Every structure is written in C-alpha cells, then in structure tokens.
C-alpha cells in the first residue's frame, strides 16, 4: 500500500483550515460514534463496528489529510463479514461521492484505490465484498467448510455489497460534511466496469454517473470462452512459444493497419489469414522458429471465437492485434521447447470451481463436448446473479443517470465483439441509449486498470457537468 502515515484525529486537525457550514471540528466528526449513527444499511444488513481516524497521504503537491472510515457489517444469516472503506478529504471536498470498483475476482482493488479520487476532491469508497482483494482466484472464499459453494459471498461480489457501499458511502459522506453529496459516481474497469453496469441495472438510483470501462458483463459465459484457445492447444497437443504468436500479431497489424499505425482501427474488416505465415521464421530471442500450420490454426480459432463443429457460435473472439498473452499464454521450461499451456487463472478458476464444481479437475482433460456444454450450464446457473446484461436501463435513465463506457478493441482478455447490451437483438435499443450512454471503442487499447484517462475524463465531464 502506498498509504501515508496515520495520525490521530487530535494531532492532525490543527491548522487544516476546515470550513464547514456548521463549523464542526474534525475531531468530533471523524469519530466512530458520530459517523456510526448515520448508518442505515439496506435490507437486514447489520453493523458490527465502525473505525474512523484522520489519516494523511502524500498528494501531488501537498499532503492530503482525510477521514479514514471503515464500516464492518454482516447480512444476518449469511455468515459474511464485509468491510466498506470511505475516505473523506478534509479540505477541498468537491461535494461528490465516488464509489470505486475492483478487478477480476476482487470486489475492490483495496483502499489504495481511493487515494487518487480523494486527491481529486471526492469522498471515495470501496467494499471488499466480504473477501480479500485477490484478483486471480476465488480459492480463499468460494467454498463453505462443508465444500458447498458460498453463494452468499458470490451474491455479495455480484451485486449486493455494491449497493450497500453506495448507500453507506453516501450516508457517511452526508454525516461527515453535514450536507450532500450532491452527486455520486461509480468508477471502475473490467470487473469494476461490470459492477458499474450492475448498479445501473439493479440499483438505478444509487449513482448519477457511471464510468464503466471494459465492462466484464456476461461473466458466466465469457469467462468460459476465455479458455477456448487453451482447449484448442490441448486438442492439438501443441503449445507455441509466445514469440511465435507475437509474430502472428505483428503480421496481422501490418496487414490490417491502413495508416501505418501500430494498431488495427477496424478489426472487423481485417480478413488476415494467419495460414499465409506458415514457414515464415518467427523472431525469438536469439533464434528463429518456423511458424507451423498448428500455430496458424490456434491464432485463427482465437480470432474466430468459440464455434462448435456443427457451426454454432457460442462466443465472440478477440481481435487480431490483441496480444495472445492474455488467453493463449504458454510457458516453456527449456528455452523455446517443452512448452505447455498457461491458462488465464480467472477462467480456470471459474470453470473448475464454479461451473464444474470440481476444484481439482485437470482442465487439460476437458473434451470438446464437455467444454461446449459449459456455456449453457454456466448461463443457466449464474446469469441471473452476475450476468449483468439486462438491456432495459430505463429506470436509470429516468433518474437522470449517465454512463460513459469504452472497450479497447485490442483487449486481450474481454471480447470486445460482444455488444454492450446483449440480451436484445435489436440495435434500436442501443441507439436510443446513446442519449445517455457514451460508448467508445478505442482501437489501440488493451485492458488496463484505468482511472478515467484525460480524454475520457473530458467527455465524462461534459456528460456529467451540472
Ligand atoms: C485506513 O484504515 C484502514 C483500516 O483500519 C487501515 O488499514 C489503513 O491503513 C488506514 N489508512 C491510512 C492512510 O491510514
Ligand atoms: C501543483 O502545483 C503546481 C504549481 O503550483 C500547479 O500548477 C499544479 O496544478 C498543482 N497540481 C495539483 C494536482 O494540484
Ligand atoms: C434477511 O433475513 C432473513 C431472515 O433472517 C434471511 O433469510 C435473508 O437471507 C436475509 N437477507 C439478506 C440479504 O441477508
Ligand atoms: C462462518 O464463517 C467463518 C469465517 O469465514 C467460518 O470459519 C465458519 O465456519 C462459518 N460458519 C458456517 C456455519 O459456515
Ligand atoms: C511508417 O512508420 C515508420 C516507423 O514509425 C516510418 O519510418 C515510416 O516512414 C512510416 N511510413 C509512412 C508511409 O508513413
Ligand atoms: C504467462 O504464463 C507465465 C507462466 O505461467 C506467467 O509467468 C506469465 O505472467 C503469463 N503471462 C501473462 C501475460 O499472463
Ligand atoms: C519438460 O517439462 C516437464 C514438465 O513441465 C518437466 O518435468 C521436464 O523436465 C521438461 N523437460 C525438459 C527437457 O526441459
Ligand atoms: C474439437 O473442436 C475443435 C474446434 O472446433 C476441432 O478442431 C477438433 O477437431 C475437435 N476435436 C474433436 C475430437 O472433436
């Protein structure tokens, strides 16, 4: 954590120049008892404890001083213990609350993710959803002591804890400053983007504005699709070193980037066939490796998407130009030989632990039939909880909500071909939504934990001003 030294409330208030309408001092407002009295959790949520202390962190130019609040609570009967963190800047509060999202399996990326919004004047909050902020695996919390799946924590991760955060974050903000917040926003990428979309769909009055980058919606199904190129490599028993796949990417970019750019602006129009590269020598550290028909086949399959032998399309592919290293990763134990698959851990975890409910299964043994069957199984069991693909956002729109979202066309993990809203086949819904959704497809971008980058920040500001 990058967080600075913790100061007690008494030590730090001197000279901070606090100006609040009711002139309360930080020592009385940044206190557990004062803030706890404001908390009214949704449903039957029950507070276990509240901690609050003035803390400091080095900002861009000057030390930033804020009230560091942690609310610990449970949903009775669910045996969960959830921590909400809210950090409230002492000076220059901009009147707004910002909820900050997580990544992968992590409901939030930890409280260091609040520092930047706090430095920018927001009261900011995040929730751990009842588990440690570990992105790559749910191993630590997926199962109850008796081995059953912990569906309560799954629901916390999928949606419930997210609304608790919005409600409690705003209550604490209001209590601390004595008014507001006059606007509340969500900000997140990947899982954080999915969480933003979830808020718009299921809790449409919680946030006024939602920044949902590379939203990992359709989770149950697309995470299964993330294993596709590993399945292909397993079937072929052929695992190319990454330098071979990088060479294929470079050739695709060269063939399809019209303006001498290092990326493909319109991947949908890229008809590049990797089979033309067979025999060409890939540049690998210190040596060259000829590209084979199997290498080309693997690339083609990742780009094409998941297709059953009878021609059914089960999911979209990645775009040519996106790095193979995310989903078609391999590792070689001796230089460029003796390679094996290195699947994306979230996909392995999801398939084994949640869809097959067999954490010890060796996924290399998955047959085509079993793999294709996972798509409907995962959809049936989990879409209603975490699919986050409800097309009707009218309640959010009616409440004046606005969304900014983007999906990098070179995303190496989440398939950008999947339309933003997929439960409708009618393009008109998307068109209508454009009045309050800004949807961008920046071609050169892969997935990244991103705070709103400057360009989008400007668009965001335009959309949300006032
Ligand atoms: C804020 O409080 C949490 C929980 O007590 C603690 O882990 C964290 O270090 C605190 N942050 C700072 C900057 O002191
Ligand atoms: C830091 O200080 C410089 C010079 O005073 C100023 O131009 C800049 O806007 C400040 N940056 C922030 C983030 O406050
Ligand atoms: C609320 O309490 C009831 C009865 O104790 C329980 O069945 C239910 O699961 C609880 N709901 C939540 C969201 O915790
Ligand atoms: C409740 O959760 C605790 C901590 O995660 C665990 O040790 C305990 O076994 C759980 N109790 C039940 C009934 O599942
Ligand atoms: C293409 O880019 C390369 C490297 O940036 C540059 O050397 C070359 O002149 C460019 N060609 C054209 C036609 O712009
Ligand atoms: C690819 O797999 C190797 C070996 O497991 C790992 O060290 C590396 O981080 C992976 N690369 C990516 C981009 O995930
Ligand atoms: C090949 O990989 C296997 C397992 O990863 C390892 O046991 C074996 O020693 C490796 N062989 C060589 C020649 O590196
Ligand atoms: C499994 O599916 C892949 C991709 O469609 C295909 O190339 C392969 O022949 C299939 N294998 C079997 C045994 O059906």
Quote the percentage of the chain above a pLDDT of 70: 84
Q: Is the CB of 242 under 6 A from ligand 6?
A: no
Residue 410's pLDDT band (cuts 50, 70, 90): confident
The domain tally of the chain equals 2
- The DSSP line for 183-221 is EEEEEEETHHHHHHHHHHHH-TTS-SEEEEES---SHHH
The pLDDT value given to residue 452: 47
378 belongs to a structural domain: no
Residues 247 and 270 in one domain: yes
At residue 408, the 3 state secondary structure works out as coil
Residue 261 has, within 13 A of its CA and on its CB side, a CA count of 13
Closest CA to 200 of 451, 426, 395: 395
Residues 139 and 285 in one domain: no
Does the pLDDT at position 205 exceed 80? yes
In what helix (H) or strand (E) does residue 168 lie, and over which residues does it extend? helix 161-177
Going by alpha carbons, the residue nearest to atom 2 of ligand 8 is: 368
371 belongs to a structural domain: no
Lowest mean pLDDT among 2-16, 216-230, 422-436: 2-16
Q: Is the CB of 36 under 6 A from ligand 1?
A: no
Question: 60 C-alpha to center of ligand 2: Å?
Answer: 7
The pLDDT value given to residue 50: 98
Q: Is the CB of 309 under 6 A from ligand 8?
A: yes
Higher per-residue pLDDT: 424 or 313: 313
Q: Which residues line ligand 7 (CB under 6 A)?
A: 333-334, 338, 340
Going by alpha carbons, the residue nearest to atom 1 of ligand 1 is: 68
Tell which of 283, 314, 342 closes a domain.
Answer: 342
Does the pLDDT at position 459 exceed 80? no
Q: The domain containing residue 316 runs over which residues?
A: 228-342
Ligand nearest to the CA of 335: 7
Residues 245 and 335 in one domain: yes
Residues 292 and 411 in one domain: no
The pLDDT value given to residue 458: 55
Residues 132 and 250 in one domain: no
pLDDT tens, 232-267? 999 999 999 999 999 999 999 999 987 778 888 888
Instruction: Quote the pTM value.
Output: 0.88
Residues 210 and 243 in one domain: no
Tell which of 342, 374, 406 closes a domain.
Answer: 342
Ligand nearest to the CA of 333: 7
Question: 232 C-alpha to center of ligand 8: Å?
Answer: 7
182 belongs to a structural domain: yes
Cα-based torsion angle of the residue sequence 317, 321, 324, 325 in order, rounded to the nearest 10 degrees: -130
Q: What angle do CA 459, 465, 466 make, to 5 degrees?
A: 165
Higher per-residue pLDDT: 404 or 118: 118
Count of other CB atoms within 10 angstroms of residue 14: 7
Does the pLDDT at position 438 exceed 90? no
Q: What atom in ligand 1 is closest to the CA of residue 83?
A: 4
443 belongs to a structural domain: yes
Higher per-residue pLDDT: 208 or 16: 208
360 belongs to a structural domain: no
Does the pLDDT at position 441 exceed 80? no
The pLDDT value given to residue 436: 53
The pLDDT value given to residue 269: 87
Question: 63 C-alpha to center of ligand 8: Å?
Answer: 59
Residue 429's pLDDT band (cuts 50, 70, 90): very low
Residues 59 and 206 in one domain: yes
Average pLDDT over the chain, rounded to whole? 86
Does the pLDDT at position 413 exceed 90? yes
447, two tokens? 């997935």
Does the pLDDT at position 453 exceed 70? no
Does the pLDDT at position 54 exceed 50? yes
The pLDDT value given to residue 463: 52
The 437-440 sheet, strands edge to edge? 46-58, 63-74, 82-89, 123-127, 96-100, 183-189, 209-213, 402-406, 437-440
Give the domain CATH number at 76. Answer: 3.40.50.1820
Residues 272 and 190 in one domain: no
**Rounded CA separation 287/278 (Å):** 17
Q: What angle do CA 268, 271, 272 make, to 5 degrees?
A: 125
Pocket test for ligand 2, best of 57, 59, 60 (most atoms within 8 A of CB): 60
Residue found by looking up tokens 């407002």 in the block: 29
pLDDT tens, 59-114? 777 899 999 999 999 999 999 999 999 999 999 999 999 999 999 999 999 999 99
The pLDDT value given to residue 244: 97
CA distances from 360 to 356, 357, 365, 370 (A): 10, 9, 12, 16
Rg for the chain, CA atoms, rounded: 24
Residue 437's pLDDT band (cuts 50, 70, 90): low
The pLDDT value given to residue 407: 80
318 belongs to a structural domain: yes
Is residue 216 within 8 Å of 222, Cβ to Cβ?
yes
Q: Is the CB of 290 under 6 A from ligand 3?
A: no
Residue 25's pLDDT band (cuts 50, 70, 90): low
Residues 164 and 21 in one domain: yes
pLDDT tens, 258-310? 777 888 888 888 999 999 999 999 989 889 999 999 999 999 999 999 999 99
Mean pLDDT of 332-351: 94
350 belongs to a structural domain: no
Question: 61 C-alpha to center of ligand 2: Å?
Answer: 6
Tell which of 310, 342, 374 closes a domain.
Answer: 342
Going by alpha carbons, the residue nearest to atom 12 of ligand 8 is: 368
DSSP 8-state class, residue 16: -
Residues 45 and 133 in one domain: yes
415: exposed, middle or buried (Cβ count in 10 Å: 0-12, 13-18, 19+): buried
The pLDDT value given to residue 221: 95
381 belongs to a structural domain: no
Length of the chain counted residue by residue: 466
Residues 211 and 234 in one domain: no
Q: Is the CB of 77 under 6 A from ligand 8?
A: no
Pocket test for ligand 3, best of 42, 45, 73, 75 (most atoms within 8 A of CB): 75
Q: Is the CB of 224 under 6 A from ligand 1?
A: no
**Rounded CA separation 10/23 (Å):** 16
Residue 23's pLDDT band (cuts 50, 70, 90): very low
Residues 252 and 104 in one domain: no
Cα dihedral sign, 348-353-354-356: positive
């Amino acid at each position: 954590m990058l967080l600075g030294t913790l100061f007690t409330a008494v030590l730090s208030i001197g000279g901070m120049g606090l100006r609040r309408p009711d002139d309360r001092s930080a020592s009385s407002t940044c206190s557990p008892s004062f803030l706890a009295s404001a908390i009214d959790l949704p449903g039957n949520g029950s507070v276990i404890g509240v901690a609050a202390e003035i803390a400091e962190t080095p900002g861009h130019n000057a030390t930033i001083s804020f009230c560091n609040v942690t609310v610990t609570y449970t949903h009775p009967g669910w045996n969960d213990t959830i921590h909400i963190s809210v950090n409230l800047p002492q000076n220059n509060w901009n009147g707004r609350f910002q909820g900050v999202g997580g990544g992968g399996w992590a409901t939030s990326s930890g409280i260091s993710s609040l520092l930047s919004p706090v430095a920018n004047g927001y009261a900011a909050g995040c929730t751990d959803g009842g588990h440690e902020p570990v992105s790559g695996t749910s191993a630590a919390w997926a199962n109850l002591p008796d081995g059953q799946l912990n569906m309560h924590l799954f629901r916390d991760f999928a949606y419930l804890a997210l609304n608790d955060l919005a409600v409690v974050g705003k209550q604490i903000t209001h209590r601390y400053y004595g008014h507001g917040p006059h606007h509340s926003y969500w900000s997140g990428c990947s899982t954080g983007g999915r969480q933003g979309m979830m808020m718009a769909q299921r809790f449409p009055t919680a946030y006024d504005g939602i920044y949902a980058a590379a939203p990992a919606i359709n989770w149950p199904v697309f995470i299964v699709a993330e294993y596709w190129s590993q399945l292909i490599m397993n079937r072929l028993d052929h695992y190319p070193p990454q330098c071979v796949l990088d060479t294929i990417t470079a050739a695709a970019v060269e063939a399809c980037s019209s303006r001498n750019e290092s990326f493909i602006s319109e991947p949908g129009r890229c008809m590049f066939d990797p089979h033309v590269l067979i025999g060409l020598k890939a540049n690998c550290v210190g040596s060259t490796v000829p590209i084979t028909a199997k290498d080309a086949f693997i690339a083609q399959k990742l780009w094409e998407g998941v297709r059953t032998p009878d021609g059914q399309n089960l999911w979209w592919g990645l775009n040519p130009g996106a790095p193979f290293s995310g989903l078609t990763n391999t590792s070689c134990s001796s230089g460029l030989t003796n390679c094996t698959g290195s699947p994306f851990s979230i996909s392995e975890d999801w398939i084994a632990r949640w869809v097959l409910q067999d954490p010890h299964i060796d996924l290399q043994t998955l047959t085509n039939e079993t793999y294709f069957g996972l798509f409907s199984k995962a959809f049936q069991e989990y879409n209603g909880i975490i699919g986050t693909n409800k097309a009707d956002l009218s309640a959010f729109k009616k409440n004046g909500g606005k969304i900014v979202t983007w999906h990098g066309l070179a995303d190496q993990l989440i398939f950008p071909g999947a339309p933003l809203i997929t439960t409708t086949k009618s393009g008109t819904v998307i068109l209508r939504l454009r009045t309050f959704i800004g949807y961008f497809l920046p071609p050169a971008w892969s997935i990244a934990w991103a705070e709103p980058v400057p360009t989008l920040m400007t668009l965001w500001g335009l959309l949300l001003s006032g």
